[in-house]
């Protein structure tokens, strides 16, 4: 299967001027001579944990596998350069053959590869009697100050892009990584602290606060709640706000910025994407609703076992 699959990929991917050696050799060789700092991230998703292959188009699964890694690059303010993909394929997929499944997974990735001018440089395939697992390693470059989880200071404003909650209704497959928004922020020097919201707003914010050794106060009335969160709340027994705070897989940017920069980002629509101020950084530890000494907010979200 591997030889046939490589031949298919060669026809699908074409060539790229930054890829000196690609598919067919033991490793890829990238031209990095005009690049700045190398940023590397890797993420693995699998059937029954991150999706249900029997219930979803494999192309959406492939897209998600790549998109979550591009979101990690966005969280660092990095520009995507290349990715390698490893597939652990079920010998008997729900539909079709293992080769057909592999082709569909890559077909889901290719539009994102083109959108972000990213090289799909290679990877590996194998098959077994268990469920599908996909591991992507993404490489990016960072020519400006990267976004880090540490460095938030009392007085800074807490910001989020987009809307939160209800991602299980489809957003976790179809989101667009906030690469362009993060790159614009770092180029303009408007934010140095940030991450993406993958495991839930409260859980991820708690990680940022811990790394920066500060506390956060959230204005819960300002949290941007998605329509999907409202729809999900009709049957879940949880409020739309609870979904927005803890569902996870929003893949939006969580940022802090000075009051002046925050006002500029929000008021001038600098990112071309809605950005909402949802709170502020204060001295101390923990997360609070409305004011320190008010309701303490506990980290909630998806904890990887």
Q: Is 50 annotated as a binding residue?
A: yes
Q: Is 34 among the annotated ligand-binding positions?
A: no
Antiparallel, parallel or unpaired: β 37-46 and 133-142: antiparallel
- Residue by residue, DSSP assigns 149-194 as SS---TTPEEEEES-BS-GGGTHHHH----HHHHHHHHHHT--SEE
Does residue 26 have a known ligand-binding role?
yes
Q: Does 92 carry a binding-site annotation?
A: no
204 assigned binding-site residue: no
Task: Tell me whether residue 252 is annotated as binding.
Answer: no
User: Is 273 known to sit in a ligand binding site?
Assistant: no
Contacts 24+ apart (CB under 8 A), 143-146: 143/36, 143/37, 143/79, 144/77, 144/186, 144/187, 144/189, 145/77, 145/186, 145/189, 145/192, 146/37, 146/39, 146/76, 146/77, 146/78, 146/186, 146/192
Task: Answer yes or no: is 31 a known binding residue.
Answer: no
The answer on whether 123 is annotated among ligand-binding residues is yes
97 has binding-site annotation = no
Q: Is 302 annotated as a binding residue?
A: yes
Residue 42 assigned to a binding site: yes
Closest CA to 44 of 88, 13, 82: 88
Binding site members for Mg(2+)? 26, 41-43, 72, 124, 196, 199
Binding site members for ATP? 106, 123-124, 149, 198
Binding site members? 26, 41-43, 50, 72, 106, 123-124, 149, 196, 198-199, 249, 302
Binding site members for substrate? 50, 249, 302
């Amino acid at each position: 299967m591997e030889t046939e699959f490589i031949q298919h990929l060669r026809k699908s991917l074409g060539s790229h001027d930054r890829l000196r050696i690609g598919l067919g050799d033991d490793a890829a060789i990238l031209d990095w001579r005009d690049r700045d700092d190398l940023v590397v991230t890797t993420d693995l998703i699998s059937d029954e944990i991150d999706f249900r292959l029997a219930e979803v188009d494999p192309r959406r699964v492939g897209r998600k596998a790549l998109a979550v890694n591009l979101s990690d690059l966005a969280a660092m303010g990095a520009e995507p350069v290349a990715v390698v993909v490893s597939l652990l394929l079920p010998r008997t997929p729900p539909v079709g053959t293992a080769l057909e499944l592999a082709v569909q997974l890559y077909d889901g990735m290719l539009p994102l590869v083109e959108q972000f001018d990213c090289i799909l440089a290679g990877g590996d395939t194998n098959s077994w009697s268990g469920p599908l697992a996909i591991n992507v390693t993404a490489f990016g470059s960072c020519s400006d100050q990267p976004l880090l989880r540490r460095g938030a200071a009392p007085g800074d404003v807490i910001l989020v892009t987009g809307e939160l909650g209800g991602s299980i209704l489809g957003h976790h497959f179809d989101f667009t990584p906030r690469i362009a928004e993060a790159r614009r922020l770092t180029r303009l020097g408007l934010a140095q602290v940030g991450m993406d919201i993958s495991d839930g707003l409260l859980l991820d914010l708690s990680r940022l606060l811990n790394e920066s050794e500060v506390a956060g106060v959230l204005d819960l009335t300002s949290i941007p709640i998605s329509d999907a969160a409202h729809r999900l709340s009709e049957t879940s027994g949880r409020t739309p706000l609870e979904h927005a705070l803890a569902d996870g897989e929003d893949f939006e940017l969580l940022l802090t910025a000075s009051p002046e920069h925050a006002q500029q980002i929000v008021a001038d629509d600098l990112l071309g994407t809605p950005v909402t101020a949802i709170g502020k950084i204060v001295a101390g530890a923990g997360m609070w609703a409305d004011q320190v000494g008010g309701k303490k907010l506990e980290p909630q979200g998806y904890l990887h076992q």
